[in-house]
Amino acid sequence: MAAAAASAGVGAGVAAMLQVPERVVEVAVPVRRDSGEIEVFTGWRVHHNVARGPAKGGIRFHPALTASEVSALAADMSLKTAVVDIPFGGGKGGVRCDPGAMSLGELERLTRRYTVAIASLLGPDQDVPAPDVNTDERVMAWLLDTVDVLHGRSMPAVVTGKPLAVGGMRLHAGATASGVVRCVRAAFGALHRDLVGARAVLQGFGKVGGPLAFLLQSAGMRVVAVADVGGAVWNPGGLDTAGLADHVTAGGSMGSFPGGSALDPTELWEVEAELTVPAALEGAIDAAVAERLASALVVEAANGPVTPAADEILARRGTIVVPDILANAGGVTASYFEWAQSRQGYPWDEALVATRLGRTIDDAFSTVWARSQSLGATLRHAANVVAVERIAAAIEARGLFP
């Protein structure tokens, strides 16, 4: 962020403000297990910067979660909301726990107790959480219900990614994947390359990677290799992504899919293709992977999938990387629409959501691409510069109190 602030010509005082989160709240989350014993977990909610609007960011449950990780993710959310120019600041939260080792009842009690602990931060004009790693619309419904009970009134705009039954939005679930595809289309267009018939490699086949594989194929691309935690599969002629989804849903492993050949997941990056999309967890493409990556275009569907060292190597090799704060911003954009819908009390139709989502991502890509060309810099640096300029403008317009 410091390099972006320098390129943006931001004053030293504002740059210093962007280096640290505005608040980091750590809470104890005691939960009664099904056995009757009480176990105490640790949770956090971080606001990085709220000059542009309420804090916006997901809640994740993960056994390796740390305060520093949550703070870094909150900073990314400040940049992400700014680069797509929606009126939110950056936030993030979560609990260090292993949800896979918890019953449904324990998970609900954990969610509600965590919500109570951070409730003073939450509100449609303060902080609006959403799903993230190991959380979903069911967890968001528990959070919403807990806030409503605490305040004694309905507050549907306090959370996004909700079930439809309590005010959710129909296209929210696939918005991240849709935004990634818009960026893929825009990148191919900016590079004057043909999208139809081009080959794509995809790491991750979950909430984002699953629908993304189908959308890429629907756009005319050949998805030639896919990997997830269960293995990898390869077919140079293109995989049947719908068949692959059915196979995995039925309990089959990626490597046992009959429509392709099993592939060592470590060899995924060397598969010849025009596009690589990392859609799993952070740090998937490190320096070693970057040196042997076969694709000339990377679009980051996951958060932070390319390490800083790998980023430098890819830039040296001339590989174009569409950064996560732009490429996967479809999810937070749809969250903004859901927040507006909840505040209006009137549901948006799917066509309106799709149109506005597409326009928002396309405009953001065009702005970042143009800034990259004018600066002679990578798309990541350009996206950071655009975001920092917008955040700094809000800080400077507000002034410093007192």
Domains of the chain: 15-155 (3.40.50.10860), 175-322 (3.40.50.720)
**Is the pLDDT assigned to residue 203 strictly greater than 90?**
yes
Confidence category of residue 31, pLDDT binned at 50, 70, 90: very high
pLDDT tens-digit map of 321-346: 999 999 999 999 999 999 999 999 99
* Helices 67-83 & 330-344 angle (0-180, nearest 10): 80
Cα 310 to Cα 299: distance, rounded to the nearest angstrom: 14
Please give the helix or strand (H or E) that residue 314 lies within, else none. helix 308-317
Model pLDDT, residue 202: 98
How many C-beta neighbours within 10 Å does residue 194 have? 10
Q: How far apart are CA 205 and CA 238, in angstroms?
A: 16
Which residue is catalytic, options 56, 80, 92, 162?
A: 92
Single pTM value for the model: 0.94
Q: pLDDT by residue (tens digit) across 133-185?
A: 899 999 999 999 999 999 999 999 999 999 999 999 988 879 999 999 999 99
Look up 92 and say whether it is catalytic.
Answer: yes
